Amino acid sequence: MRLIPLLPLLSLLSLLAAPLAAAGDLKLPPPKTSGGKPVLNAIADRASAPGNNFPSGEISLDELSVVLWAGSGLNRPTRWTVPFGMGVEPYVRIYVAGQDGVHLYSWADHSLKRVLAEDIRARINRQPFSRVVPYILIFVSDRTSLVKNGRAREVWSKWTHAAAGAMTQQIYLAADSIGIGARYVESMDVDLLRKSLAIPADEEPICVMPIGKR
């Protein structure tokens, strides 16, 4: 019987275990929900990462888990870390763009669902740091829960933008607490995002948020 050399085998296993591997969906590790900076210290230190020297260190799955949980994860059986009007389900989706493609964050089971195998980070906007950061978070309105609960079309934009504001601010605080730099960016290639992520015409890409380890 022919034996497989140990080193090539270990290399293969490390590739298979890489974050956001090409296999597709990924269950995130449970988020760390205690520790870090005291909240007032985090607020005092809260700042956008500098565009001309953006942190680009790799972010572990444990750290990504914390950031996404802070954005809209469950912190009670049927409620979320961010308040949503009328207590309905989150009406802003978070996509995670990385080197292995784009995944959609599922708050329901704290996982990432693959939606695109292509790396589009460098084309999301013209900012130079988009080419070096490990992840770019993309916030897109999701009106399904608003429609399901009978909310009128005229409130959609107001509610989704307010929610995205709360989500990104919580990500700022959580990211700073674990040594991750973040930056709210409104400029983006909307046509690229609509086509790549199959965003319906009546839904809206709101903003993007590059993140990188300091």
Range among 33-42, 88-97, 138-147 with highest mean pLDDT value:
88-97
Task: Give whole-number Cα distances, 114 to 55, 137, 195, in Å.
Answer: 25, 14, 15
Q: How far is CA 74 from the centre of its chain?
A: 15
Backbone angles phi, psi at 140, to 5 degrees: -130, 135
What is the CB neighbour count within 10 angstroms for residue 178? Answer: 19
Nearest to 168 by CA among 59, 79, 70, 98: 70
Q: Read off the CATH number of the domain in which 197 is found.
A: 3.40.109.10
> Model pTM?
0.87
Backbone angles phi, psi at 105, to 5 degrees: -75, 130
The amino acid at residue 62 is D
> Three-state DSSP class for 106?
strand
Classify residue 188: in a domain, yes or no.
Answer: yes
Whole-angstrom distance, CA of residue 106 vs CA of residue 95: 9
Number of structural domains in the chain: 1
Least confident of 6-10, 178-182, 205-209: 6-10
* Higher pLDDT among residues 156 and 210, named by residue: 210
Question: What percent of the chain lies above the pLDDT cut of 90?
Answer: 70
Whole-angstrom distance, CA of residue 188 vs CA of residue 207: 7
Backbone angles phi, psi at 205, to 5 degrees: -65, 125
Q: Which residue has the tokens 């704290």?
A: 110
Classify residue 43: in a domain, yes or no.
Answer: no
Classify residue 99: in a domain, yes or no.
Answer: yes
Q: 2 pLDDT band (50/70/90 cuts)? A: very low
> pLDDT averaged over the chain?
88
Q: What pLDDT is recorded for position 90?
A: 93
Rounded to an integer, the average pLDDT of 79-103 is: 94
Residue-number span of the structural domain to which 178 is assigned: 57-213
For the chain, helix (H) and strand (E) counts, in that order, are: 7, 9
pLDDT per position as a tens digit, 13-60: 333 344 444 458 999 999 999 988 888 998 999 999 998 899 999 999
Q: What pLDDT is recorded for position 23?
A: 59
Task: Give whole-number Cα distances, 79 to 83, 86, 107, in Å.
Answer: 8, 11, 10
Classify residue 22: in a domain, yes or no.
Answer: no
* Higher pLDDT among residues 158 and 145, named by residue: 158
Q: 12 pLDDT band (50/70/90 cuts)? A: very low
Classify residue 89: in a domain, yes or no.
Answer: yes
Whole-angstrom distance, CA of residue 4 vs CA of residue 19: 25
